[in-house]
Chain A
């Protein structure tokens, strides 16, 4: 089983809303990732969690707040987003955060900010 589950699949929110994206994996992976992908662009890394601790923040604005409650779950809390934040948000996991570990991706959450 190499499944990473993301909910919701689609989300529309206003600029004053607070919402959360959720990601879950049951592969026993100890590294989890958030990526942002705009149309016709490659996925761009936002955050890396390693053993439930934030290890990489790619200078992401504070309106995006990640959380890793346990080794299977990863959340991305959204607040006061801008229309340019509309994108596909992808979650991934890997055995651990060392290089040469394959990252397995979820189907993503398509976010629209109005």
Chain B
């Protein structure tokens, strides 16, 4: 049973346009969400996070939006650049218990066309 879902396996956008990557979750205990970017032959690299007490967090070209009622978050990249081409993982954790566990989605492959 997938608790974090990234239903679109891939996305292709033109350089300079906006990329919108979506993520849905089912576990209402999740209260912290992260996006990681992964290039081939490298480990996942932290990109941006958001706490459930917020609905938006922005860092440069990257903005994450959280809709708790819909259990949905999205990552906006604007403007998109060819170097953004990678696999993007959405991850979630719950602040219950003493240990953090990240639950990952399957990832979305983003291709930014020059």
Query: Residues of A at under 8 Å CB distance from B?
Result: 4, 6, 31, 40-45, 48, 50, 55-56, 90, 92, 94, 97-108
B44 interfacial by beta-carbon distance below 8 Å: yes
Question: How long is the Cα–Cα vector from A94 to B105 in the complex, in angstroms?
Answer: 20
Q: Does B26 contact A (CB under 8 A)?
A: no
Provide the B37-63 mask, 1 if CB < 8 A to any CB of A, else 0: 000011111100101000000000000
A105 to B38 CA separation, bound complex (whole angstroms): 10
Q: Is A99 in contact with B95, judged by CB distance below 8 angstroms?
A: yes
Residue of A nearest to B101 (CB): A45
Interface residue tally on B, bucketed by range = 20 to 34
Q: Which of B32, B43, B99 has the most CB of A within 10 A?
A: B43
Assess whether A105 is in contact with B45, with CB atoms less than 8 Å apart. yes
Q: Can you sample 21 A-B contacts with CB below 8 Å?
A: A31-B100, A42-B104, A43-B89, A45-B101, A45-B102, A48-B99, A48-B101, A56-B99, A56-B101, A90-B44, A97-B99, A97-B100, A98-B98, A98-B100, A100-B95, A103-B46, A104-B46, A105-B44, A105-B45, A107-B41, A107-B43
Q: Do residues B51 and A100 form an inter-chain contact, with CB atoms below 8 A?
A: yes
Q: Once bound together, how far apart are the Cα atoms of A98 and B42, in whole Å?
A: 25
Pair B105/A42 contact, Cβ less than 8 Å: yes
| Alpha-carbon gap, A106 to B46, bound state (A) | 11
The residue of chain B having its C-beta at the shortest distance from the C-beta of A6 within the complex is: B43
Separation of A6 and B100 alpha carbons in the complex (Å): 22
Query: Which A residues touch B32, using CB under 8 A?
Result: 99-100
A90 to B44, CA, bound (A): 9
Contact A106 B43 (CB under 8 A): yes
Whether B106 and A100, one on each chain, are in contact in the complex, defined by CB atoms closer than 8 angstroms, is: no
Q: Mark B3-36, 1 if CB is under 8 A from A, else 0.
A: 0100000000000000000000000000110101
Q: Is B78 an interface residue (CB 8 A)?
A: no
